[in-house]
Amino acid sequence: MPLFKTIAADIHDVLHDMDKDYFRKSREQRIGCSIEEAAEDFKTPLKLFKGNLWPYSQHLKSEDFLAGAAPAYSDYMLYSTFLWARGSSMKKIVDDNDPLVDWLSRMDQLFGGLGGQVKYIG
């Protein structure tokens, strides 16, 4: 939820006009504030999200992947969250010095670099 609240306004901005009302009504209920309020205060949920990543960052200091020497389910599940955010928002959600940066680069290179091709749609 913290990541969604961080990028909710960005997602809203790239939606087709006919989808924006539904998105606003359903997502504002979920996040407990307006899309505009979420846009103004995105740093608070982003800080919470980064805090939730701490165990992964610590683990990746000594392993190439969450599953060890090769990626597995846990890697793909977390990676999908980053792909979704990358396609939906330009916000930087991981600090440059976080071990997740190198892990994301390794994940981006899998399957012929398919994940690395995901770009912001806005």
In-domain check, residue 31: yes
**Domain check: are 67 and 34 in the same one?**
no
- Residue 114 is predicted with a pLDDT of 97
- Residue 122 is predicted with a pLDDT of 83
Per-residue tens of pLDDT for the chain, all 122 residues: 799 999 999 999 999 999 999 999 999 999 999 999 999 999 999 999 999 999 999 999 999 999 999 999 999 999 999 999 999 999 999 999 999 999 999 999 999 999 999 999 98
Q: What is the largest CA-CA distance in the chain?
A: 47
**Domain check: are 61 and 114 in the same one?**
yes
- Residue 1 is predicted with a pLDDT of 76
Query: Which residue range forms the structural domain that includes residue 20?
Result: 1-41
**d(Cα 8, Cα 24) in Å, to the nearest integer?**
9
- Residue 14 is predicted with a pLDDT of 95
In-domain check, residue 107: yes
In-domain check, residue 46: no
In-domain check, residue 48: no
67 in Cβ contact with 73 (< 8 Å): yes
- Residue 8 is predicted with a pLDDT of 96
